[in-house]
Amino acid sequence: MRTVFWAALAAVAVLWPGRLAGPLDGVPLDTPIEAAAIGVGLAWLIATHARLLRETAPRVLVISLLAWKVGTSALVAQDGWCLQFTLPVPVFVDNVTVPHSWDVRADWRAPVPTCSAIMTRGYAELERFPAWFYNLAPADWENPARAADRPPEASSTLRLSGYLDARRTGTLQVLVGEDIAASATIDGREVTGGELAAGVALSEGSHQIAVHGDLRRTHWSLAPLWNGANVWSATTATVGAPSSIDAWVRPWGRFVPAFLILAVGLCGVLSIARRARSLPIMSYAAGVTSLVTLVAAFAGDSGRRLVPLMLAGAAIVPLPRRLQGVFGWSLFVALPFLMLFVVIGWPQAGLFTWYSSGDDWWMFQRFSYRIFMQGYWLQGGHSYDTFWFQPLYRWLAGSLHMVFGDSSIGELFWDAGGALIGSAFAFQAARQFAGYRWGLIASIATLSLFTLGPAWHLFGRGLTEFSSAGFIYAAALLALRGRAGSVPAIAMAAVAATLGFYTRLNNLPMALTVAAFAWPVRQPVSDLYVPSRWRTRLSLPVLAGVLGGVAFGMLLFTLRTYYYTGVFSMLHGTSASLNSVVHPGDSYATAAGNLFSSLMMLLSLNDPPRFDFRALPVIAGFAAALLGALRVPLFRALPFNLVAFSLSAVMGAFVARGVAYPGRFSTHLIPVTVTLTVCLLSLFRKNNSKK
């Protein structure tokens, strides 16, 4: 539990928005280096090498970073200038004409923000502006956006205001794109656009700046310069009037967070090296990660999809037994896989995404804005009081925007993390059943199916599938850890399973079946029919904790619906009735056909269902689960909890049938079925070796 506390404290310290703009200064993580180093690198280090936080040096660095952030927040002015947008007509419900941006440093909790965002660097193009709010239109929930709601047809104005503290006489320029008409007021004096572009001479001292711009069409850029250089690197430019301490701190203070964070990273690298105690192992991990980086950068989409197959060499790398666990997996599989998405996401950092109007992706984003920026925390962001759409993802999407700014790079990294958790589950389950190398095979096969199959297009798409699967497989891993008597692990397993259900309601059966990991992975499904065999190895705390926790989560969900509607029903107001597989009045033949089609959509990874050789591991794993439950020889030796998990993963298909986005509804099924297929292959090999 202490490790969890320190991990949370480290996250707070690193993400806390810095008053001084500099490298690794906290949220928003809107530069490629910040997004990669903090959003992926540090997250990977803490998640897979948490023992680092048990050491004194990293803890001292974390406390120092937090103290620095708190101290500077109290003593120095906010770097940057206040940027406010104004729109001629409302673009969203509640009469939004002065929109917020996803900038936690700005007035994100004010109904009408004085600052939509804080500007700390120039914007070279429209998508670099914090103008994500153009995705919100229209104000009417029921209609999709029109061309008139977005540039080039839509127009807006901006006001950029703040202070410039010149250490010596110099020249201020504000360069704008051809579709921005700009003027300014400097110390109360009106300045034309031509003067701004040519440069305005300012004396030493503090100056109050206000720039006004009319934004038309799409050729936008905005670059404040001091003596020809970025104003925030060349002098002091702040939202409020700077004090004497600002001038003293700024030349070096902006680098303090980066120094402390890099020091934590260095401690992590040294800790990993001490644990590995092998130059060849470290060299192999570095070599594979470098190769993946090159392939991801230069091989195009087809090459990127093959990256997991490049990790297969890890299965033959000799490792001492002490490293044949999560440590080895994190270096040989997790790190290079994440590097693939770092390269893919690199150009997206600091860019806002144009959403296609009228689809689920667009709706989740609008819900997120209404929750975080307009304060509908419990209602969930929709004008309805029930969850027609899947509930939790709207909160997740908003959280990711708050961390990464307007950019959707956070959703890309989040989905990659969800896939990696599924891969970690496959590794741990297959390793415990058949050994380390079989675990690596299951893990790599899972990732390969995610990238080579139809699910590839879901990464970063802003949908619920990877999120729900990630929560549920994390819950299963925590439940396995809880068997050792860890109460925090059991509690976190219950919470994660509940969040998996909240994220995608169809996955409720699977969330409940996390309780099957109250038994060890080596417990064969045949023991289910012999009570004396399974009772002795059952962990009652895990069973009761997971089932009780998910049941409590279901009750809370129902009570929320009752609070808003007066109807005590968990599924009231959801799309369950519309997407029901069997409808009143269906004949037996029609009902059977619908059920079979819905099941095959999951197993074939395609909609409408069709044969796809990439689905063979999924089909084989599901068939193995069925045969194992029927106690067919050989198959009955498969793990009971994997069989139960696999069968529960398809139960939602018999209740509701999803539509659109091929492969979307199979995401949660892939890790467990692939793991069962690998476990079955290990049994075949074991039996053949005995003959």
**pLDDT value, residue 689:** 72
With beta carbons less than 8 A apart as the criterion, state whether 140 and 207 touch. no
Q: Which of 227, 260, 293 is the last residue of a domain?
A: 260
- DSSP structure string for 488-551: HHHHHHHHHHHHHHHH-GGGHHHHHHGGGGGS-TT-BGGGGG-HHHHSTT--HHHHHHHHHHHH
**Domain for residue 57, yes or no?**
yes
- Report the candidate in 211, 198, 117 with the shortest Cα–Cα distance to residue 164: 211
**pLDDT value, residue 155:** 93
The answer, yes or no, to whether residue 354 has pLDDT greater than 70, is yes
Of the chain, the percentage scoring pLDDT greater than 70 comes to 100
The answer, yes or no, to whether residue 37 has pLDDT greater than 70, is yes
**pLDDT value, residue 407:** 81
**Domain for residue 65, yes or no?**
yes
Structure tokens at 333: 């599989």
With beta carbons less than 8 A apart as the criterion, state whether 528 and 640 touch. yes
* Average pLDDT taken over every residue of the chain: 92
**What's the rounded mean pLDDT across residues 593-605?**
91
**pLDDT value, residue 318:** 84
3-class secondary structure, 580: strand
**Domain for residue 273, yes or no?**
no
Check whether residue 226 and residue 90 sit in a common domain.
yes
Distance, C-alpha 74 to centroid of its chain: 31
**pLDDT value, residue 461:** 87
Check whether residue 26 and residue 170 sit in a common domain.
no
Check whether residue 164 and residue 54 sit in a common domain.
no
The answer, yes or no, to whether residue 383 has pLDDT greater than 90, is no
**Domain for residue 386, yes or no?**
no
Per the structure, the complete domain to which residue 212 belongs is given by: 81-242
The answer, yes or no, to whether residue 330 has pLDDT greater than 90, is yes
- DSSP structure string for 253-276: HTTHHHHHHHHHHHHHHHHHHHHH
The answer, yes or no, to whether residue 491 has pLDDT greater than 90, is yes
**pLDDT value, residue 494:** 98
**What's the rounded mean pLDDT across residues 215-231?**
95
- Whole-angstrom Cα distance, residue 509 to residue 648? 5
**pLDDT value, residue 50:** 87
- Among 21-25, 420-424, 427-431, 467-471, the range scoring the smallest mean pLDDT is 21-25
The H or E element spanning position 340 is helix 335-345
- Whole-angstrom Cα distance, residue 676 to residue 430? 8
**What's the rounded mean pLDDT across residues 23-46?**
94
Structure tokens at 110: 């004010």
With beta carbons less than 8 A apart as the criterion, state whether 427 and 439 touch. yes
Number of Cα atoms under 13 Å in the Cβ half of residue 522: 6
Give the chain's domain count: 2
Beta bridge partners of 85: 158
- Angle CA 500–506–509, to nearest 5: 75
**pLDDT value, residue 122:** 94
- Whole-angstrom Cα distance, residue 431 to residue 445? 14
The answer, yes or no, to whether residue 687 has pLDDT greater than 90, is no
CB neighbourhood size of 687 (10 A): 11
Check whether residue 46 and residue 9 sit in a common domain.
yes
- Report the candidate in 610, 585, 586 with the shortest Cα–Cα distance to residue 597: 610
**206-234 exposure pattern, b = at least 16 Cβ within 10 A, e = fewer:** bbebbbebebbeeebbbebbbeeeebbeb
**What's the rounded mean pLDDT across residues 293-301?**
94
SS3 content of the chain, % helix, strand, coil (to 5): 60, 10, 30
Burial class, 183, CB count within 10 angstroms (exposed 0-12 / middle 13-18 / buried 19+): middle
- Report the candidate in 277, 296, 364 with the shortest Cα–Cα distance to residue 336: 296
**What's the rounded mean pLDDT across residues 393-413?**
93
**What's the rounded mean pLDDT across residues 53-78?**
94
- Whole-angstrom Cα distance, residue 691 to residue 688? 5
| 3-class SS string, 158-224 | EEEEEEEEECCCEEEEEEECCCEEEEEEECCEEECHHHHHHCEEECCEEEEEEEEEEECCCCCCEEE
- Angle CA 432–285–59, to nearest 5: 80
- Angle CA 42–53–325, to nearest 5: 80
**Domain for residue 30, yes or no?**
yes
Most distant pair of Cα atoms in the chain: their distance: 94
Q: Which of 228, 260, 292 is the last residue of a domain?
A: 260
Check whether residue 113 and residue 71 sit in a common domain.
no
The side-by-side arrangement of strands in the sheet containing 222-226 is 200-202, 170-176, 222-226, 229-230
Check whether residue 85 and residue 72 sit in a common domain.
no
The answer, yes or no, to whether residue 543 has pLDDT greater than 70, is yes
- Report the candidate in 346, 326, 337 with the shortest Cα–Cα distance to residue 291: 337
Q: Which of 232, 260, 288 is the last residue of a domain?
A: 260
Q: Return left, alpha or beta for 170; rule: phi > 0 is left, psi -120 to 50 is alpha, else beta.
A: beta
| pLDDT tens, position by position, 96-153 | 899 999 999 999 999 999 999 999 999 999 999 999 999 998 887 778 888 888 999 9
3-class secondary structure, 590: helix
**Domain for residue 193, yes or no?**
yes
Check whether residue 127 and residue 146 sit in a common domain.
yes
- Whole-angstrom Cα distance, residue 209 to residue 226? 13
Check whether residue 51 and residue 195 sit in a common domain.
no
The answer, yes or no, to whether residue 177 has pLDDT greater than 90, is yes
**pLDDT value, residue 690:** 67
- DSSP structure string for 402-463: HHHTT-THHHHHHHHHHHHHHHHHHHHHHHHHH-HHHHHHHHHHHHHHHHHSGGGGGTTS--
| pLDDT tens, position by position, 493-508 | 999 999 999 999 999 9
- Whole-angstrom Cα distance, residue 221 to residue 197? 12
The answer, yes or no, to whether residue 34 has pLDDT greater than 70, is yes
Check whether residue 35 and residue 90 sit in a common domain.
no
Long-range own/partner contacts, residues 136-139 (CB < 8 A, 24 or more apart): 136/91, 136/92, 136/96, 136/99, 136/366, 136/369, 137/91, 137/92, 138/91, 138/92, 139/90, 139/91, 139/92, 139/93, 139/95, 139/96
With beta carbons less than 8 A apart as the criterion, state whether 209 and 166 touch. no
Beta strands at 222-226 and 229-230: parallel, antiparallel or unpaired: antiparallel
With beta carbons less than 8 A apart as the criterion, state whether 456 and 305 touch. yes
Distance, C-alpha 433 to centroid of its chain: 30
- Report the candidate in 69, 72, 79 with the shortest Cα–Cα distance to residue 26: 69
**Domain for residue 27, yes or no?**
yes
Peptide bond before residue 138 is cis, with ω within 30 degrees of 0: yes
- Report the candidate in 142, 98, 132 with the shortest Cα–Cα distance to residue 383: 142
Burial class, 684, CB count within 10 angstroms (exposed 0-12 / middle 13-18 / buried 19+): exposed
The answer, yes or no, to whether residue 658 has pLDDT greater than 70, is yes
**Domain for residue 623, yes or no?**
no
- Among 52-66, 411-425, 649-663, the range scoring the smallest mean pLDDT is 649-663
The answer, yes or no, to whether residue 317 has pLDDT greater than 90, is no
Q: What sign for the dihedral angle of Cα 418, 421, 427, 432?
A: negative
Q: Return left, alpha or beta for 214; rule: phi > 0 is left, psi -120 to 50 is alpha, else beta.
A: beta
Check whether residue 111 and residue 179 sit in a common domain.
yes
Check whether residue 188 and residue 104 sit in a common domain.
yes
3-class secondary structure, 93: coil
Q: Is the pTM of this model over 0.75?
A: yes
- Whole-angstrom Cα distance, residue 306 to residue 448? 7
**pLDDT value, residue 469:** 96
The H or E element spanning position 82 is strand 81-86
Residue 594: which pLDDT band, with cuts at 50, 70 and 90? confident
**What's the rounded mean pLDDT across residues 255-276?**
94
**pLDDT value, residue 657:** 79
- Whole-angstrom Cα distance, residue 281 to residue 293? 18
The answer, yes or no, to whether residue 691 has pLDDT greater than 70, is no
φ, ψ dihedrals at 238, nearest 5°: -130, 160
Residue 584: which pLDDT band, with cuts at 50, 70 and 90? confident
Check whether residue 123 and residue 58 sit in a common domain.
no
